[in-house]
Chain A
Amino acid sequence: MAGLELLSDQGYRLDGRKATELRKVQARMGVFAQADGSAYLEQGNTKALAVVYGPHEIRGARSRALHDRAIINCQYSMATFSTAERKRRPHGDRKSTEMSLHLKQTFEAAVLTQLYPRSQIDIYVKILQSDGGNYSVCVNAATLAVIDAGIPMRDYVCACTVGFVDETSLADLCYAEESGGVSSLALSLLPRGGQIALVQMDARLHQDHLDTLIEAAMTACKGVSKVLDQVVRQHLQEGSTLRE
């Protein structure tokens, strides 16, 4: 795109951030009383709502039951008003199914499913406003919702989308950067152990740059995990003061 510099000479991006700076994260847990767990998370302009039900008996196809673990059922959808043009098909299209599958794989790595054999945990995420980094915001929102539901997890799951432009890694891409031809990589991490739950990339990147990009993603995820940690602790404290 002529005239739009993704990274200026002084090191500023389109929205005025530096290369490694994350967008502002605001989150709230326990938004819905009816669901077992729920959370609302904003990362810059991207807003997502996550709701968790479970663990409960397997609905529908009994044959899917696993005798030693719980199955995690994820559904990702975008609100019709979430993008610049009204979205015609909010769920059921290929992108949503792929995203749901990625979310499922991510959470299967983190949730201790062996404690709930033959049952099902449902995670529903809805994007209310989409401004880049959809997968990452979904994962972060869903982590908070799972913690709110009291489902045991090994660790938080934090995710971030990073891109590579002009020999620098940009952390937490916004929509303009994602569609501006940046090679973007989405990574979800279990921050304390440093274990990667999922890496997803469908752009072209020279293999020499891969290590730096993954390093940048892991640092960004650790930054996100600090914010999520604060949100959880604050929610716990509020819950206990209400009790007293």
Chain B
Amino acid sequence: MCVSGDKLCSVEDCILGTGVYLRHGYIYSSLAGYVLKKNEGEQLPVISVVRETEVQLLPDVGAIVTCKVTSINSRFAKVHILYVGSTPLKDLFRGTIRKEDVRATEKDKISLGDVQSNYLLTTAENELGVVVAHSDAGEPQMVPISWCEMQCPQTHTKEFRKVARVQPEYLEA
């Protein structure tokens, strides 16, 4: 068990994990919790401090997130970021998907006048894109036909979406 500010060990003995920080060559704890030392084969053990309740995760650059679209514009779509990886967030974060970031083609330059204070997202990979969509008719979910079309099972109308090719291991019931 340790509290914030406890000196754990020297930086020569362990590698920094989460919940710790480095100062003057020593590793100190930054959380109040339990010290966990994991041995990873030949390298030095990784030392980290864990709590029972999970610490709030923030979306980081390069993370894969799951979001819900809240408004659509001709230039971009505003989304609420709900999950980072597979952990749900307690508070939602706002993000933006610009039109040019939806597909890998058609990349434009951004102008410096755009105020960037939200997270910028892109779906320009094969595995990224729309996972759930509803047609104009409403209720049932649309079924993907190709990488850019989805069809409603009731009305059989097709609509354009950039569909995500989700890896099978991520698909859960």
- A interface list, Cβ under 8 A from B: 36, 54-58, 62-63, 65, 112, 116-119, 147, 150-156, 190-193, 229, 232-233, 236-237, 239-240, 243
Query: Which residues of chain A are near B144, meaning CB under 8 Å?
Result: none
Query: Which residues of chain A are near B1, meaning CB under 8 Å?
Result: 233, 236-237
- B interface list, Cβ under 8 A from A: 1, 3-7, 19, 21, 23, 28, 30-34, 51-53, 55-56, 58, 90-94, 115, 117-119
Which A-chain residue is minimally distant from B56 (CB atoms)?
A55
Having A155-B28, A156-B4, one finds 11 other A-B pairs with CB under 8 Å, namely A57-B92, A57-B93, A65-B117, A112-B30, A118-B117, A118-B119, A147-B4, A147-B32, A154-B28, A155-B4, A190-B5
A55 to B90, CA, bound (A): 10
Query: Which residues of chain A are near B31, meaning CB under 8 Å?
Result: 147, 150, 152
Query: Which residues of chain B are near A154, meaning CB under 8 Å?
Result: 4-5, 21, 23, 28, 30
Query: Which residues of chain B are near A192, meaning CB under 8 Å?
Result: 5-7
Which B-chain residue is minimally distant from A239 (CB atoms)?
B52
Query: Which residues of chain B are near A152, meaning CB under 8 Å?
Result: 4, 19, 21, 30-31
Cβ 8 A contact of B52, one of A54, A232, A243: A243
Check A236–B56 contact: CB distance below 8 A. no
Which A-chain residue is minimally distant from B33 (CB atoms)?
A236
A139 to B58, CA, bound (A): 26
Give chain B nearest CB distance to A61 CB in angstroms.
Answer: 9
Question: 9 shortest A-B CB distances, which residue pairs?
Answer: A155-B5, A152-B30, A62-B117, A56-B91, A192-B5, A153-B4, A150-B55, A57-B93, A147-B32
A243 to B52, CA, bound (A): 9
Which B-chain residue is minimally distant from A150 (CB atoms)?
B55
**Contact A156 to B21, CB < 8 A, known contacts A36-B56, A55-B58, A62-B117:** no
Check A147–B91 contact: CB distance below 8 A. no
Query: Which residues of chain B are near A62, meaning CB under 8 Å?
Result: 115, 117-118
**Contact A156 to B3, CB < 8 A, known contacts A65-B117, A112-B30:** yes
Query: Which residues of chain A are near B93, meaning CB under 8 Å?
Result: 56-57
**Contact A232 to B5, CB < 8 A, known contacts A36-B56, A55-B58, A56-B56:** no
A117 to B93, CA, bound (A): 13
A–B pairs, 15, beta carbons within 8 Å:
A55-B58, A56-B90, A63-B117, A116-B58, A117-B58, A150-B31, A154-B5, A156-B4, A156-B5, A232-B3, A232-B32, A236-B3, A236-B32, A240-B34, A240-B52
A155 to B4, CA, bound (A): 5
A228 to B157, CA, bound (A): 65
Query: Which residues of chain B are near A54, meaning CB under 8 Å?
Result: 56
Which B-chain residue is minimally distant from A190 (CB atoms)?
B5
Query: Which residues of chain B are near A118, meaning CB under 8 Å?
Result: 117, 119
Give chain A nearest CB distance to B95 CB in angstroms.
Answer: 10
A208 to B63, CA, bound (A): 57
